């Protein structure tokens, strides 16, 4: 199991692979393709695929996907029957002695479908808001502890504590909230996601 936070790793000369997911928004049961890219030279790599499991004391731990202990020669991996929001990571190795790349950044596959064990709602109940508004982002489901996550338009990942206050299972935002994809997660569950747009000022029509 790998374990890391989102802090930059000050290592040099070690490739940092780039993971892409397609599609990034799914309906329950969809298949998703993960693709892991390593800079040149590109030959000879074996690729390893991980699910990002929420860690409430940090960000995520990384667990190898089923059947992935020996890696794959192909730089892509297909997930069948995606049912909920989840994050994924890849890395690669080659050579003798074995040389590993860094882990990729976490990339998320978001589900618009409601998971009975975890739901995410926004109050006021709409997807476009203004920065002067305070939002309540509400988590409900079969977990004792929740956190609200966001990926902004630059791809940066943050939690409610960076732009609001988490009280129980509700995150109340402040005026530093910004546009992005929001969702709830616990150590065992992930909710549907919502793409929320926050305007910096009123738009007059």
- Per-residue pLDDT 10s for the chain (205 aa) are 454 433 333 445 789 999 999 999 998 889 999 999 997 766 789 999 999 999 998 889 999 998 778 889 999 999 998 888 999 999 999 988 888 999 999 999 998 877 778 999 988 656 555 555 678 899 999 899 999 999 998 889 999 988 899 999 999 987 666 789 999 999 999 999 999 887 666 544 4
- Does domain 118-199 fall under CATH 2.60.40.10? My reply is yes
Q: What CATH fold (topology level) applies to the domain 15-111?
A: Immunoglobulin-like (2.60.40)
Of 118, 76, 159, 117, nearest in space to 65 by CA: 76
Rounded Cα distance between 160 and 144, Å, is 17
Of 59, 97, 76, nearest in space to 185 by CA: 59
Q: What is the dihedral of CA 38, 41, 46, 50, to 10 degrees?
A: -10
Q: Cβ atoms within 10 A of the Cβ of 134, count?
A: 13
Range 94-97 contact pairs with CB under 8 angstroms and sequence separation of 24 or more: 94/44, 94/45, 94/46, 95/44
DSSP code, position 162: G
Two domains, one topology: 15-111 and 118-199: yes
Parse the chain into domains and list their residue ranges: 15-111, 118-199
Helix, strand, coil percent content, the chain, rounded in steps of 5: 0, 50, 45
């Amino acid at each position: 199991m790998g374990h890391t936070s989102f802090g930059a790793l000050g290592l040099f000369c070690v490739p940092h692979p780039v993971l892409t997911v397609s599609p990034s928004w799914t309906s329950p049961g969809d298949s998703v393709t993960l693709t892991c890219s390593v800079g040149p030279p590109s030959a000879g790599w074996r690729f390893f695929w991980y699910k990002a499991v929420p860690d409430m004391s940090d960000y995520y731990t990384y667990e190898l996907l089923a059947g992935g202990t020996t890696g794959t020669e192909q730089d892509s991996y297909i997930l069948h029957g995606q049912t909920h929001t989840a994050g994924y990571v890849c890395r690669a190795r080659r050579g003798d002695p074995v040389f590993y790349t860094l882990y990729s950044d976490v990339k998320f596959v978001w589900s618009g479908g409601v998971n009975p064990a975890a739901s995410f709602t926004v109050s006021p109940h709409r997807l476009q808001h203004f920065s002067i508004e305070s939002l309540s982002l509400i988590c409900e489901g079969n977990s004792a502890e929740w956190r609200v996550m966001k990926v902004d338009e630059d791809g940066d990942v943050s939690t409610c504590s960076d732009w609001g206050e988490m009280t129980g299972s509700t995150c109340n935002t402040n005026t530093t909230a910004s546009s992005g994809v929001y969702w709830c997660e616990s150590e065992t569950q992930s909710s549907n996601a919502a793409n929320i747009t926050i305007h910096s000022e009123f738009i007059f029509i």
